Structure 1
């Protein structure tokens, strides 16, 4: 059984709040195919990170990763999504707001438990900085649990749960 985590980060400034740049920003995906090479590891948690930044015209920058000693502290945190081992091989998910998520503040809450073959999607956003140099970020964290590893795991079916914690960013 492996835990699949896909983090999709989109970052922009006020310059991309309208016009062509906003159009490009709004086209960033909420889920993608994972590269086949990422599954070569025997690690329990497979991590696929993607970034779409204004400074790169929202072109995809990918980073692959693995956690070889998962849950050594009892939980793992991916952005604002906390994973904990649950009962019967399930994984518990929780949304945990902190300053790293960005303004405005939101309440932390339990999302649910994932079983084999299921996945959850957590979407949130935040605003960072002062009055003039604001940075905006949207994070999508897709988390799946599966004994059958497929690069298209997140594309084959809809998530069991979508937790949308996006706020109005001004």
Structure 2
């Protein structure tokens, strides 16, 4: 079983300074896991802290949904013994600047890996070009079985990959 936790923080220029930056910068890199009571092989817990919602967490759980995993900027492949995690850059899901897609780590059973990356996104609005910014933390746990909901809170990642670029 693979448990993926995506923690996405999204903001605009409005939260680049105080007081919005305080809330933005206090979003966690790991959260309590959702209660998993559906049968599946891959669980994705998406937690979003959006400026437009005053950085209050909004949570969604997906079971065996490959399309949603792709939106996390990762590709997973696993055997009984290991789970390979690849960082996959795309404009739509990772944002600017462009980066090289790369294999980031391999997890054994009961190991926890963490990817942290940021990106800038542009879209057209009535006021012209507006930028949004994101920080994404992707926690991947290669589990034997169901776990307590707080199992990630008291441990450091066994493997970590960071791609934090200068975004303005």
TM (normalized to structure 1)?
0.88
5+ residue gaps, structure 1: 71-75
| Distance verdict in 2 for CA 1:156–1:12, change over 3 Å | same
- Kept after mapping to 2: 8 A contact 1:78/1:141: no
> Quick one: distance in 1 between partners of 2:12 and 2:41?
36
Which residue does the alignment assign to 1:19? Answer: 18
1:91 aligns with 2:91: no
Number of the residue aligned with 1:73: none
- How big is each residue's C-alpha offset from its partner over 1:111-139, in whole Å with a ceiling of 9 and x where there is no partner? 12111110100011111116841111111
Q: Which residue of 2 aligns with 1:120?
A: 113
Is 2:63 the partner of 1:66? Answer: yes
CA apart distance, 1:82: 1.1
Higher helix share: 1
1:160 counterpart = 2:158: yes
Matched, 1:30 2:47: no
Runs of 4+ in 1 over 3 A off after TM superposition: none
Deviations 1:71-112 (A, max 9, x none): xxxxx53511111124x5211011111112111111111112
Deviation at 1:169, TM superposition (A): 0.7
2:100 to 77, 91, 107: 107
* Partner-residue secondary structure (3-state), 1:55: helix
Specify the alignment match of 2:149 in structure 1. 151
State the secondary structure of the residue aligned to 2:152.
helix
Q: Is the 8 A contact 1:118 1:160 kept in 2?
A: yes
Q: How many residues align?
A: 161
User: SS where residue 130 of structure 2 aligns?
Assistant: coil
If the length of structure 2 is used for normalisation, what is the TM-score? 0.89
Q: Which moved more, 1:159-168 or 1:76-85?
A: 76-85
* Cα RMSD for the two superposed structures: 1.9
Q: Is the 8 A contact 1:120 1:162 kept in 2?
A: yes
